[in-house]
Amino acid sequence: MLNIEYEFKKGFFFVRLYGVLAKDNYNKFIKELNNIITKTGLNKIVINIDNITNIEKSMFSKLLKYIKKKSYKGILILICDNKILLKNDNILKINYEYEIKSFI
């Protein structure tokens, strides 16, 4: 099960994921996020994966591709990952949410 918490703070839209990110909930999450981006025009987003207990490898790859695709469209998306799951240097990453200050 995937739980999602949203918060707008200091010009950034924080998306905090809790639980399991799997094939059965990934598409619903992305559709919901896309709807929010389209309706609001948000262009600075932090996806916090610190509280993901399990993530299917293929879904992690899809998430990274989604982030790259959005960045080409001028949307800044950062991954917050203090567990160091992400080793891809092409994705902007922070270890803790408070580090967002360096992007403000």
Expressed in angstroms, the distance from the first to the final Cα of the chain is: 33
Q: Which residues pair with 94 in a beta bridge?
A: 80
Question: Which residues touch 92 (CB under 8 Å, ≥6 apart)?
Answer: 71, 76, 77, 78, 79
What pLDDT does 104 receive?
64
Better-scored residue on pLDDT, 89 or 49: 49
Task: Give just the sign of the alpha carbon dihedral 71, 59, 95, 31.
Answer: positive
pLDDT digits (tens, 9 = 90+) for 59-83: 988 998 999 899 889 999 998 988 7
What pLDDT does 18 receive?
96
What pLDDT does 32 receive?
95
Full domain range(s) for residue 28: 2-103
Q: What Å distances lie between residue 73 and 4, 26, 42, 70, 77, CA to CA?
A: 24, 21, 12, 5, 11
Domain count, the chain: 1
What pLDDT does 57 receive?
85
**How large is the average pLDDT for residues 25-34?**
95
Q: Residue 7's domain is classified under what CATH number?
A: 3.30.750.24
**How large is the average pLDDT for residues 44-53?**
93
What pLDDT does 89 receive?
60
- What is the chain's mean pLDDT, rounded? 88
What pLDDT does 86 receive?
57
Residues in the chain: 104
